[in-house]
C-alpha cells in the first residue's frame, strides 16, 4: 500500500503529477533560522582566507611553469546568508588533444610537492581532489582545458565585515 500523497489535494502539484507521473516531488524543510555555530570572523581572518586561497593557485601555476591570468575570485553565499566561502577559479585553456591528462598530472605532482594529498575523483573526467587546512582544491580536466577551483571552509561574515572586504578589494 502506497503512502498517502498530500500533494494530490494541492491544485498545482496535482496538475504537475497528472502531466508528469514519473516525477517524485520532495519538499525540503526551510533553512534553520538559528544563527550559525561559528562565531563571526574578523576582517583579518577573512583577508587571510582570501590571501591563502590565491597563494595556493599562484603556487600551483608557478610549479607547472604557467602564468596565472586573472583568476576568478568571489565570496560564495551559502544557504544561511551569514555564511560565506571564498572561491578562486583558474583554468589552463587551449590545450592540445591528450595534453589535459598530462597537465592534470603535473598539478597533482605540484600538490604533492606542496604537502597536499590529492585523491582521484570518482568522475569519468581526469580530475582530483585535495584538502589542506580550511581549503579544498578540485582539479578537473576537460577536452582542451584544465580547471582549478579552490574553496574555503564557510566563514560567518557580518554585513560590516563584508563591506570592509569590498573596500579592501
Residue 48 lies in a domain: yes
Asked if residues 129 and 121 have their Cβ atoms less than 8 Å apart, the reply is: yes
Range of the domain at 157: 43-168
Which CATH number belongs to the domain containing residue 89 in this structure?
Answer: 3.40.1000
71-85 average pLDDT score: 92
- Residue 83 burial (10 A CB sphere; 0-12, 13-18, 19+): middle
- Residue 46 burial (10 A CB sphere; 0-12, 13-18, 19+): buried
Residue 35 lies in a domain: no
Q: Supply the DSSP symbol for 160.
A: H
What is the pLDDT at residue 7?
61
How many residues does the structure list for the chain? 169
Q: How many domains, in total, are found in the chain?
A: 1
What is the pLDDT at residue 31?
63
* Residues 80-131 pLDDT 10s: 888 999 999 999 998 998 888 889 889 999 999 988 888 877 766 667 899 8
* Residues 47-60 pLDDT 10s: 999 999 999 999 99
Q: pTM for the full model?
A: 0.75
What is the DSSP pairing of strand 146-152 with strand 83-92? antiparallel
Residue 68 lies in a domain: yes
Amino acid at each position: 500500500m502506497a503512502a498517502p500523497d498530500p500533494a494530490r489535494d494541492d491544485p498545482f502539484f496535482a496538475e504537475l503529477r497528472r502531466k508528469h507521473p514519473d516525477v517524485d516531488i520532495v519538499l525540503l524543510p526551510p533553512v534553520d533560522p538559528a544563527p550559525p555555530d561559528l562565531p563571526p570572523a574578523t576582517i583579518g581572518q577573512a583577508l587571510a582566507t582570501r590571501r591563502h586561497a590565491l597563494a595556493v593557485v599562484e603556487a600551483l601555476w608557478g610549479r607547472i611553469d604557467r602564468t596565472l591570468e586573472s583568476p576568478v575570485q568571489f565570496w560564495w553565499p551559502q544557504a544561511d546568508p551569514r555564511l560565506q566561502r571564498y572561491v578562486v577559479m583558474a583554468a589552463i585553456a587551449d590545450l592540445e588533444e591528450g595534453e589535459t591528462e598530462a597537465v592534470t598530472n603535473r598539478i597533482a605532482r605540484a600538490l604533492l610537492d606542496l604537502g597536499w594529498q590529492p585523491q582521484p575523483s570518482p568522475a569519468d573526467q581526469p580530475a582530483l581532489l585535495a584538502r589542506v587546512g580550511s581549503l579544498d582544491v578540485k582539479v578537473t580536466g576537460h577536452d582542451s582545458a584544465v580547471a582549478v577551483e579552490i574553496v574555503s571552509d564557510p566563514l560567518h561574515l557580518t554585513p560590516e565585515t563584508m563591506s570592509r572586504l569590498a573596500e579592501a578589494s
